[in-house]
Chain A
Amino acid sequence: MKTSKRKSTYNQTGFRSLSTTSVLALVVLVAIVIAAALLFAKGSPATQTTSTQQTTIQTTSTTKPPSSTTSQQTTSMQQTTTQQATSGKTLRVGIGVDADTLDPAGQTTTTISNIIRLIAQPLFITSPNGTIVPVLADSYNVSSNGTVYTIKLKKGIKFQDGEPLNSEAVKFTLERILDPNVKVPSRGNFLLIDHVEAVDEYTVNIYLKKPFAPFLGVLTSAYIIAPNATKQLGDKIANNPAGIGTGPYMFKEWVKGDHITLVANPNYWNGTPYFSQMIFKVVPDASTREAMLLSGDLDLIIQPPPSDLASLSSRGDVKVSWTISTREMYIGINTQYGPLNDTRVRQALNYAIDKDSLIKYVLFGLGSPEDSILPPFVLGHIAVGPYQYDPQKAKQLLAQAGYPNGFSVTLITPNGRYLFDTQVAETIAQYLRDIGIQVNVRTYDWPTYVSTILAPLNKTELQLFLLGWSPSVPDPYFYTFQLFHSSQFTPNGFNNFFYNNTEADKLLELGATTTDPQLRAQIYQNLTKIVWNDAPMIFLYYQGFVVAYRSTLSNVVLFPYEMVDFASIRMG
């Protein structure tokens, strides 16, 4: 083709006049490119670097304080660590994704939120056991009609730039999240705020448009930032969030695509931070992350390749730690599509899947069968399942529903979004074929998949679809309302089961407004029984969240919502 044509032409004409010039020219070309690249590579990444001020101290380790009750709560996050100097050590962590922005209000992934939480802290956080505990807040009170949240702040806390943490800062943060001129992808959770009032230096009132029980949970994703520092930074906050938080670590530098570095805040209000520096290396490939852990380039990696967990665990120099996460994996069922309209058919699908084998052989053990519509750590969790593997019963149910010879159905799945998603879908298809259903599996890339699953009822092609649900706020409301309420059919909400049950609707509305935790738990327990029986999905498993680290590390605590308590880690 092109090559050979040129070759023949130049071969004939070339040799007489060809001289050292040709070779020289080539060498010069390569040399110029190398030189230019070297110059650039040296020059440009440095422009991203910015250092911040100094300051002091300790970790937001989430010990498990008593669970919060609605009114007057004074548990504070006083830590066990005593005052000391930083260890001078550096923690190097391998993460799979880079940040889009370091603006605390712009976060879209748990991985980067996990880093942001070290810089800027919320009023409350969700502890590993699922209870909401105060961080910057000291106590709170909810008005009897559920629309006014009065929050008292801890006193004497300073931002990294020296500004005091006060009610104005909280007001500023929340108003900024609501400001349409600021890009806040998670704004939806905050839209019920009517206005915020700074009552006195350390008291803030948040007025809601209507009662919203999960609001305290929503506040766990609002990282309080310093008004002056933020205003001065302007757009630069996205790349250089210097001095904006109250957290144990301060932003130092972000080399995009490569790493984010934090340094200890010497003036931290809650003890000296243990590590003097934390480096988060962006390593997109799981196998490379693993190699970098083994070669000693990293101390801890998020999500090592699951297939290697057994060999990693057997090594002396590495430890593996995992927890059931708040991510529920399920096969969604379009309850208004043909045979899937029949509850017995949907139950049959549930009985047809051997969840235990699926987890053991496809997921390398990294999961736990779903026993409820809510994960174990979430308020209102009650074990009503799992549906036991029983293909005979599944076949009977199909026969009762009038499909003794099965029917044909399409199962769609994203590729590479969740742990072994495509393999899981193929395995499930096989189980369904075993009870006589003809399953056609189709695989999509994630952006196409999202468009497909959000289609409205009159346009949807959905029959069965694999999905993982892990709301940013682990409150029962976010696991249920958008999914199961009949007003939430896609694209308004995320009920693409097109599930419609008036009794469930009532409980969902009640759960959204009832602030008393015990009453709320009961509501969601009742809801669980209804939805579980109606089976708008094939309940699969809670996905595991796993990290691997060098055995010199200790006290590695995982949050079920796919985060690591980096501040509590010790080394050596």
Chain B
Amino acid sequence: MAAIGFFGKRLIGVAVVVISVSIFMFVLLRSIPGDPARLLAGFDAPPEVVEQIKERYGLNDPLPVQLIKYLENLFTLNLGTSVRTDSPVIVEILHRLPYTLYLSAAALFIAVAIGVPLGAYAALKKDSPIDYFVTALISVGTAMPTFWLGLMLILLFSVQLKLLPAGGAGNPSSIILPAITLSLPVMAPIAKTTRFTFLEVLKEDFVKLAVAKGLRRKTVIFKHVMKNAMVPVVTVLGLQLGNLMKGAVITETVFAWPGIGRLVVDSIFARDYPMVQGAIFVLALIYALINLAVDSLYAAIDPRIRLGGAS
């Protein structure tokens, strides 16, 4: 019962966030200059041709009418028709979204699989050269521009060594370079948080007790420290999802990966209102749901949080 209350409230929250984002996006898009029909027809097209295109996509209706139509359609999950491609927005998005999810999941996996052990190891070897090295690596990882890293990886692994494809999505190994590139800016904060919380937990009394009562070092680290240090890491992970989506835009461009990030950017430059709105709606929905999942993860982990959420 309490759990239903918690989820019910949070789901309403998700709906409110997604609808607000959609309305905000609608207003924002139309308040920046640019005319989708004109951009499509070219600046030398006669006005009548531009008008025909506007008419076709209902761009001549008053803005409030367009907004109401848009929201009405949203409730039936009809995201409209793309001005640029003339196909249903939902079809275009469902075609591109899996690529981005796949890339993000792979990047997240790499970030966690490397970031957590790296941070933990640095904490255990605090103030040693290894710790300094990892800390420096974290700084570099945070500061490195994604496009530059991507190009460097391409030059090394594709052009020089000819080991991996430089771009596209046609080959199973195509995912490797973009996933590494995208993982780095996420891996750095994860390693940093792991190192920090590890150090905190190591100072706790129960760790001292565990050591004092003669448990093996391995057991102390994995059974006591690691488990307790993971909650903040999960939090950071949730927050990094936004970073992943941001990074996906650049990574997808550099590696010619046909994901949704590139679709959004291309559509913004064409002022393809329905496509941008649709993509942002879907992304906002995913983002909100994943955040909900991450929060639920705490609740599953710690009964106190669940009770707190329901009361």
Instruction: Please give the residue numbers on chain A whose beta carbons come within 8 Å of chain B beta carbons, in ascending order.
Output: 2-3, 6-7, 10-11, 13-15, 17-23, 25-26, 29-30, 33-34, 36-41, 43-45, 47-48, 98, 100-101, 106, 108, 180, 183-188, 191, 235, 238-239, 255-259, 281-285, 287-288, 291-292, 294-297, 445-448, 450-454, 471-472, 478, 482, 491-494
For the complex, give the distance between the alpha carbons of A258 and B252 in Å: 11
A40 to B101, Cβ gap below 8 A? yes
Verify B301–A25 contact, CB threshold 8 A.
yes
Instruction: Please state if B108 and A257 are interface contacts (CB–CB under 8 Å).
Output: no
Instruction: Kindly identify which residue among A185, A239, A284, A292 contacts B253, using a CB–CB cutoff of 8 Å.
Output: A284
Other 11 A-B pairs with CB < 8 A, given A6-B235, A11-B200, A30-B112: A10-B235, A30-B105, A41-B98, A41-B99, A41-B169, A100-B86, A281-B256, A283-B167, A291-B158, A297-B167, A447-B32
- B residues in contact with A238, CB < 8 Å: 85-87
Determine if B62 is an interface residue (Cβ-Cβ < 8 Å). no
Contact status of A30 and B35, CB under 8 A, knowing A15-B206, A44-B94, A101-B85: no
B49 on the A face (CB < 8 A): yes
Q: Is the interface of B mostly helix, strand, loop or mixed?
A: helix
B-side contacts of A39, CB under 8 Å: 98
B106 close to chain A: CB less than 8 A: yes
B87, A239: Cβ atoms under 8 Å?
A: yes
Q: How far is the CA of A185 from the CA of B38 in the complex (A)?
A: 9
Contacts known (A41-B99, A258-B168, A295-B166); A15 close to B228, Cβ less than 8 A: yes
At the interface, yes or no: B52 with Cβ under 8 Å from chain A?
yes
Chain A residue contacts of B129, Cβ below 8 A? none
- How many contacting A-B pairs (Cβ < 8 A)? 256
Q: Cβ of B101 and Cβ of A36 under 8 Å apart? A: yes
Q: Which residues of A contact B45 (CB under 8 A)?
A: 185-186, 188
User: Which 3 pairs show the lowest CB-CB distances between chains A and B?
Assistant: A447-B34, A257-B258, A40-B98
Does the CB pair A33–B271 fall under 8 Å?
no
Assembled-state Cα–Cα distance A506/B108 (Å): 67
Q: Mark B254-267, 1 if CB is under 8 A from A, else 0.
A: 11101100110010
Pair B151/A287 contact, Cβ less than 8 Å: yes
**Contact B42–A291 (Cβ < 8 Å):** no
Q: Of B38, B197, B230, B266, which one neighbours A454 at CB under 8 angstroms? A: B38
CA A98 to CA B257, docked complex, whole Å: 12
Q: Is the interface of A mostly helix, strand, loop or mixed?
A: helix
- A259 partner, pick from B96, B158, B168, B232, beta carbons under 8 A: B168
Contact A40 B302 (CB under 8 A): no
Contacts of B159 on A, CB cut-off 8 Å?
A: 291, 294-295
Please name the residue on chain B nearest to A453 by beta carbon.
B43
Give every chain A residue within 8 A of B258 (Cβ-Cβ).
Answer: 255-258, 282
For chain B, the count of residues having a C-beta within 8 Å of the partner chain is 89
Q: Is the CB of B201 within 8 A of A15?
A: yes
| Chain B 138-158 per-residue mask, 1 if CB under 8 angstroms from chain A, else 0 | 000000000100010011001
Please give the distance in Å from B235's CB to the nearest CB on chain A: 5
Contact A450 B43 (CB under 8 A): yes
Stretch from B2-10, B12-20, B64-72, B292-300 at the A interface: B292-300
Q: Chain B's nearest CB lies how many Å from the CB of A27?
A: 9
Contacts of A3 in B (CB 8 A): 193, 232, 235-236, 239
Measured CB to CB, the nearest residue on chain B to A98 is: B266
Quick check: B297 and A101 within 8 Å, CB to CB?
no
Interface centre among A20, A258, A259 (most CB of B within 10 A): A258
CA distance A19 to B302 in the complex (A): 9
Which residues of chain B in 36-51 are interfacial with respect to chain A, using CB atoms and an 8 Å cutoff? 38-49
Q: How far is the CB of B300 from chain A (nearest CB, A)?
A: 6
Cα(A183)–Cα(B53), bound, Å: 7
B residues within 8 A CB of A296?
Answer: 162
- Knowing A6-B232, A22-B301, A450-B34, say if A281 contacts B168 (CB, 8 Å): yes
Find chain B residues with CB under 8 A from A30 CB: 105, 108-109, 112
Q: Does B59 contact A (CB under 8 A)?
A: no
* Chain A residues with CB below 8 A from B109, complex form: 30, 34
Establish whether residues A454 and B43, one from each chain, have CB atoms under 8 Å apart when the complex forms.
Answer: yes
CB distance from B134 to the nearest CB of A (A): 20
Q: Which B residues are CB-close (under 8 A) to A187?
A: 49, 52
**In the complex, which residues of chain A have a beta carbon less than 8 angstroms from the beta carbon of B234?**
22, 26
B239 to chain A: closest residue by CB: A3
**Once the chains bind, are A37 and B269 in contact (CB under 8 Å)?**
no
Q: Does B170 contact A (CB under 8 A)?
A: yes
- What CA separation (Å) do A285 and B178 show in the bound complex? 14
B102 partner, pick from A2, A37, A448, beta carbons under 8 A: A37
Residue B97 at the A interface, CB < 8 A?
A: yes
Contact between A22 and B56, CB atoms less than 8 A apart = no
A23 adjacent to B94 (CB under 8 Å): no
A45 contacts across to B, CB distance below 8 A: 95
Expressed in whole angstroms, the Cα–Cα distance for A185 and B236 within the complex equals 47
Chain A residue at smallest Cβ distance from B57: A183
List residues of chain A with CB within 8 A of the CB of B52: 180, 187
Q: How far is the CA of A187 from the CA of B47 in the complex (A)?
A: 11
Q: A11-B232, A23-B227, A187-B52 are known contacts. Are A292 and B43 too (CB-CB below 8 A)?
A: no
Please, how many angstroms separate the alpha-carbon atoms of A478 and B43 in the complex? 13
Measured between beta carbons, the chain A residues less than 8 angstroms from B154 are 288, 291, 295
- Whether a CB of chain A sits under 8 angstroms from the CB of B63 is no
